Chains A and B, each alone.
Chain A
Amino acid sequence: MLAYAFRRVLSAIPIALIAVTACFFILRLAPGGPFDGERALPPTVLANLRAHYNLDQPLIVQYFLYVWRLLQGDLGPSMVIDGFNVSELIAIGFPFTLTMALSAFVIATIVGMIAGMVAAAYQNKWPDYVLVLGVMIGVLIPNFLMAALLQLWFGVYLKWVPAGGWVSGSWVHLVLPVTVLAWPHAGRISRLMRGSMIETLGTNYVRTARAKGLGERLVLMRHAIKPALLPVVSYLGPGLSYLLTGSLAVEQVFGLPGIGKYFVTAALNRDYGVVLGTTILYMFIILALNLLVDLVYAWLDPRVRYR
């Protein structure tokens, strides 16, 4: 398994390089630049700024300068947020996004799996219908709308939790953002779990277990859960990636200092260094999670062999 993991890591290096190169050139070829705002900068100011960030160099030189610095672990400065370099911004934003995403991930996985199992066990009975309805709400309502609605109900009308903002170490500020993030994922996981569980409950070995006189709870816990988990596990990696990279709307509505917000703001402002830095971070997260999921998948299903 170790050799397999090592090979996967090695194969990720060219993928990473291609992604960085593509991102670098696409970004530079896009119209507009980091110093294009509502007001024209005096030419001397613009020239000095461009020289300061090497933007006056030919594009290919800029590329090699960037890669050279990257190899030394330097993601460069932000061109828009003065006084912060990209690593500092990531150091501020990423732990926050990670906390939020992991909280949502754990909650969504637990709630989703339990809901899926219950729905499967009570297939076509009222608990199944109630759970399906709850799931559909989470999946169908876009998260920016869900964020605004929860903010209004629980923050403005009921005042149970803060309507937004962030205070270091204050978990109560995370209640609404994490709920908004977790809900659709819990929904998807429960649907996968329900379908998979229903299928597993119809297999021969489950029928055999029942025929041997085992109680329904034991059948579920001992024989049905593990195989039923396979599609759920397949989803968990991309699911966590999505939670880590897709929290932008939530961060915007609640005014949170997450990495998704930095990424989109930087893309709009053409803050090249921040866009590239966050892209590289996202890329590593996705590659790492995919690898992790493959390893877990193989552990769950011994028929899977490493090649």
Chain B
Amino acid sequence: MKFTTAFKAVATAGVMALLMSTAASAVTLQLHNGGDPGTLDPHKASGDWENRVIGDYIEGLLTESPSAEAIPGQAESWDISEDGTVYTFHLRDGIAWSDGTPVTAGDFVFAFQRLFDPKTAADYAYLQFPIKNAEKINSGTIAELNELGVKAIDDKTLEITLEASTPFFLEALTHYTAYPVPKHLVEKVGDDWTKVENIIGNGPYLIKEWLPGSYVRSEKNADYYDASNVKIDEVFYHVLEDQAAALNRYRAGEFDILTDFPSDQYQWLQDNMPGQAHVTPFLGIYYYVLNQEEGEVLSDVRIREALSTTVVRDVIGPDILGTGELPAYGWVPPGTSNYVENAYHPAWADTPYEERVEKAKALMTEAGYGPDKPLTLQLRYNTNDNHQRIAVALAAMWEPLGVKIELFNAETAVHYDALRAGDFQVGRAGWLLDYNDPSNTLDLLKDGVDQAGTINWGNNYGRYSNDEFNALMVQASTELDLVKRGELLAAAEKIAMDEFAAIPIYWYVSKDVVSPKISGFEANPKNIFRTRWLSKSE
């Protein structure tokens, strides 16, 4: 054998061996994560694309099962006082931050204090407001952080006291706002603790790289308490907001999971990649807000009723969007926990459409409008093909009523700025539940809060206001009996919907595409799938 031939053979074998060993030693998940994470700090995050990354590198007292149910995380067990207001958590043995420092109850106390400290400016601190004095500290009414209802009994025991019994509190603890942060590191480097050169975690993965606009990369944490069951060694969370391009890259085999896809490609996916697209009911509502401020034309309930009852919701999911979103007539998504069994369903939803249109025309005439005196309304939506399609469809549905719609689209920041300022008549909005409880959507219709002489309506863009509704919401917030609480909330929902406080359009669905190589993916109403439960075959 010539020397060159022998050399080529050895080199080829070497390269092959190297490739095989690399393939055998590292299982990499290529996850299309959508938007660019704005932060890796759990107290500053606000999007599901941030949650996917953060929930892989930090774990709270509780975490999510493969089906996104609350299960023990850093806490091994907990006790709840009889009145449901005091929770005592017992931390696992041997849990540590990735720099080797033990995770203690003190880290949780520090994290909750940081979350509510107004200086942190945490967007979602309000999700943990059931904790005693949390809201007062966050609003600056109480300056002393130690008055928060979160105490370390010892390094392994944490006690959380609530304002009142809160049925969804354990579920709320799975949210990233309840995650611990490494006290020793934050005290040393401040907000820079999430820079890649500093960052540490206590979850199944460790952040290794963050290239804004392209990807975040993490690697398996060998010191995680359940590391032996974690099958994926490395995760790329890819940034790519162009859904068509993301689907192309999935088809090219560059992504293992897509967390969204163009609705109009659903049929193609079903035909060409059967079983890979998962369209699942998602806890969220797509709706239109109607400006009901005094003096506005839509403060007239007759016009609101005419508009709402003539929306043909059945065609929107299957025909306009193509992904089969279910029509929404109520305000609380189906499948929401701690609620009544029978969802709100108005009688008018079952009457023939022609009858609904006739009644709506009569209501419009009563209100002083009709073909001779058309009502012109401006409809605002944020720039997006689907929002535009729905807006155009609704404008057509309202035309027989003598309602002329002027469409006005704007980018997201401008759109929501206008909604909050009340500078709109009809506006597109949506809400994905932060925790699985009916109060999370019903709170959207609560009264505004008087602040320094002006009313802050928060997310109640339509300025819907009903004393009876508000009273029921307050009553429900202190009701310990879950069945009674559900009934109170259902009564509140009925009041708001019977008054057409807004126009629910459809219930959201999550849209994932999962490669057959991936096992352990379970579609669920929260659309949370943690990497630790996934595995990948070659």
Contacts and interface: CB of A to CB of B under 8 A. Distances in A.
A273 interface: no
B244 A33 contact: no
B240 A42 contact: no
Interface string A56-98: 0000000000000000000000001111100001001100000
A175 interface: no
A263 to B, nearest CB: 11
Given A48-B119, A49-B121, A155-B252, A92 B418 contact: no
Contacts of B122: 45
B242 interface: yes
Interface string A164-194: 1110000000000000000000000000000
A163 B412 contact: no
B312 interface: no
Contacts of A164: 240, 245, 248-249, 252, 254
Contacts of B214: 165-166, 255-257
A281 to B, nearest CB: 15
Nearest to B50: A82
A34 to B, nearest CB: 8
A92 B123 CA distance: 27
A269 to B, nearest CB: 7
A257 B213 contact: yes
Contacts of B395: none
Contacts of B417: 31-33, 36
Measured as residues with beta carbon below 8 angstroms from the partner, the interface class of chain A is 35 or more
Contacts of B212: 81, 84, 89, 92-93, 257, 262
Contacts of B248: 148, 151-152, 155-156, 163-164
Given A33-B417, A254-B245, A166 B121 contact: no
A295 interface: no
A166 B217 CA distance: 12
Contacts of B139: 42, 44
B108 to A, nearest CB: 21
Nearest to B35: A265
Nearest to A254: B245
Nearest to B117: A48
A83 B36 CA distance: 13
Interface string B407-428: 0001111111110100000000
Contact of B416 (A36, A159, A258, A262): A36
Interface residues of B, number: 57
B389 interface: no
Nearest to B458: A40
Contacts of A40: 416, 420, 457-459
A32 B413 contact: yes
Contact of B213 (A44, A82, A258, A270): A258
Contact of B252 (A52, A92, A156, A265): A156
A180 to B, nearest CB: 12
A44 B191 contact: no
A39 interface: yes
A37 B413 CA distance: 6
B445 interface: no
Contact of B40 (A33, A48, A83): A83
A83 B191 contact: yes
A165 B238 contact: yes
B338 interface: no
A46 B2 CA distance: 75
B192 interface: yes
B244 A148 contact: yes
Most chain A CB within 10 A, of B192, B213, B215, B413, is at: B213
Interface of A: 30-34, 36-46, 48-49, 52, 80-84, 89, 92-93, 147-148, 151-152, 155-156, 159, 162-166, 251-258, 261-262, 265, 268-270
9 contacts: A32-B411, A36-B413, A81-B212, A151-B248, A151-B252, A152-B248, A155-B254, A257-B211, A269-B413
| 6 A-B pairs with the lowest CB-CB distances in the bound complex, closest first | A32-B413, A82-B39, A257-B213, A257-B214, A163-B252, A32-B414
Given A39-B46, A48-B120, A156-B251, 15 more contacts: A32-B410, A33-B417, A36-B413, A42-B458, A82-B44, A82-B191, A83-B195, A84-B212, A92-B213, A147-B245, A151-B252, A156-B252, A159-B253, A162-B252, A252-B242
